[in-house]
Amino acid sequence: MANTGAYLGLSRETTNKEQILTKIRNAVFEKQEALFKDIDLRTDTRVPINEEDGEAVTFVKNFQDNGGIFMYLENENDFAACLTQLCAENSWSPLWCGSPAMQDTLNRYGIQHTTDSQREPKQKLVCITDCDCLIAQTGSILITDRLTPDSKYLTLPDVHIVFARMSQIMPNLKVALNKTKERYANSRLGQISIISGLSRTYDIEQTEVRGVFGPKQVAVFLIED
């Protein structure tokens, strides 16, 4: 009889605990529903692109507002000439590049580059990559690991130069992601990086400081197709 009573007591205790846990779960779920039931996940909350400006101008404005540096060049030859001059004037050579397609472009114009990140003590580490898309609505750059296999090329340099073409400008993130999905439909992406200017943080006096983490300068060189 004693064993039976102990068994029944354990059952009652277990039942009580289950009831308490059930009430807690229900309370949590009810609270979550009350917090998020009015959120609209379908409506675009970003300000629409001004039709008079167009996607290209909108990207430039937003990108510069994010702290980015923008340069427009008519063709690839002008891009190579400009980059060569900047490398000479600022002692950037060799450029740090891990993108196979970008390496081919640099090779065509005889621009020195390397996959070695080691530099002289006072020499800046300048990385150059291509990109998948430019997002007009946010002034952002989208880069997949199909172009730049290692994220260190996006996070470690002092200066990040992005080579882009006019046709890569997309109106918003949704279109950019769909375009990327179509482009790599037959392959698997490991990482998608979206760069929206320099890093931002605040000091003890709540003053905004940019570029503390990651590149201190992000520049887009945009050319016509």
Number of domains in the chain: 2
CATH number at residue 82: 3.40.50.10420
Residue 4 belongs to domain spanning: 1-39
Reported confidence tier of residue 8, pLDDT bands at 50, 70, 90: very low
Same domain, 1 and 66: no
Decide if pLDDT at 34 tops 80: no
| Domain-located, residue 118 | yes
Same domain, 34 and 61: no
Same domain, 89 and 188: yes
| Domain-located, residue 45 | no
| Domain-located, residue 143 | yes
Same domain, 93 and 156: yes
| Domain-located, residue 46 | no
Q: Are 215 and 159 in contact (CB under 8 A)?
A: yes
Q: Which of 48-57, 95-104, 199-208 has the lowest mean pLDDT?
A: 199-208
Q: Select, from the ranges 77-91, 145-159, 200-214, the one with the highest average predicted confidence (pLDDT).
A: 77-91
pTM of the model: 0.76
Average pLDDT, the chain: 84
- How does DSSP assign the chain, residue by residue? -HHHHHHHHHHHHHHHHHHHHHHHHHHHHHHHHHHHTT--SSS--SPPPPTTTHHHHHHHHHHHHTT-EEEEESSHHHHHHHHHHHHHHHT-PSEE---HHHHHHHHHTT--EES-----TT---EEEEE-SEEETTTTEEEEETTTSS-THHHHS-SEEEEEEEGGGEESSHHHHHHHHHHHTTTS--S-EEEE-SS-EEE-TT--EEESSSS-SEEEEEEE--
Q: Measure the CA–CA gap between 194 and 133, rounded to whole angstroms.
A: 9
User: Which residue did the predictor score with more confidence, 133 or 53?
Assistant: 133
Q: What is the dihedral of CA 50, 134, 73, 200, to 10 degrees?
A: 90
Same domain, 143 and 200: yes
Same domain, 15 and 90: no
Same domain, 101 and 160: yes
Instruction: State percent of the chain over pLDDT 90.
Output: 56
Same domain, 33 and 102: no
Same domain, 182 and 113: yes
Same domain, 19 and 90: no
Decide if pLDDT at 205 tops 70: no
Decide if pLDDT at 143 tops 90: yes
| Domain-located, residue 96 | yes
Same domain, 31 and 92: no
Residue 33, pLDDT score = 55
| Domain-located, residue 48 | no
Same domain, 27 and 63: no
Residue 49, pLDDT score = 73
Q: Are 147 and 104 in contact (CB under 8 A)?
A: no
User: Which residue did the predictor score with more confidence, 43 or 150?
Assistant: 150
For residues 16-37, give the mean pLDDT. Answer: 69
| Domain-located, residue 185 | yes
Give the tens place of pLDDT for each residue, 161-173.
Answer: 999 999 999 999 9
